[in-house]
Amino acid sequence: MNTNITVDAKGMACPMPIVKAKKALDSLQTGQVMEVLSTDKGSVKDFQAWVKQTNHELTQHVEEDGVYKFYVRKV
């Protein structure tokens, strides 16, 4: 997946992955995609709730070797 920015929030606990993601997403234009890397298991539910609240699109999330990858398209 093509991304415009990657946010490395590995090793950070809630709410820091969301805080860093929000700051990065503010710098993107509509339609651009942000990748967020997190090791916090709680971030799965956090990101699902956050995109619903902000009306952005969680296009995909995967887990590889304990790293959760979230792809968020700015709407």
Write out the catalytic residue numbers: 14
Of 55, 63, 62, 9, the residue nearest 73 (C-alpha): 55
* Residue written as token pair 């503010």: 26
Q: What number of residues does the chain have?
A: 75
